Amino acid sequence: QPADEAERAEQRRRLLATLARLSPRHQEVVALKYFGGLRNQEIAAALGLDQRTVGAHLSRALAELQRLLGGPAAASAWEAAAD
C-alpha cells in the first residue's frame, strides 16, 4: 500500500535523523546491530569491546532514542524501520 510505504519511509527518515543525535559510539553499535544485523558478540569483536559493554551501549542508545522520539514504542519502531 502506498500510504503504508510513505508512512514507513517517513518513520525511517525520522529515526535516522534521531540516530544522528546519539553519541558516535551509540550510533556505531546501533548501526551494526540493526543495519548490519550483527549479534552483540560480533559487534564486541569488531569494536574491541566486551560483550557486556556492547549490551550496555545498546540499552543506553535505545533508551535515548525512546526519549528523543517521545515514547516507549520508539525501540519497536526503530527495529521495524531498520528492516
pLDDT of residue 72 exceeding 80: no
DSSP letter for 71, please.
S
pLDDT tops 70 at residue 74: no
Lowest mean pLDDT among 5-14, 16-25, 27-36, 64-73: 64-73
Q: What is the pLDDT of residue 70?
A: 85
Q: What is residue 45's predicted lDDT score, i.e. its pLDDT? A: 98
Q: Residue 5 corresponds to which cell in the numbers above?
A: 510505504
- State how far the Cα of 25 lies from the Cα of 58, in Å rounded to an integer: 10
Is pLDDT of 83 > 60?
no
Residue 2 confidence class, pLDDT cut points 50, 70, 90: confident
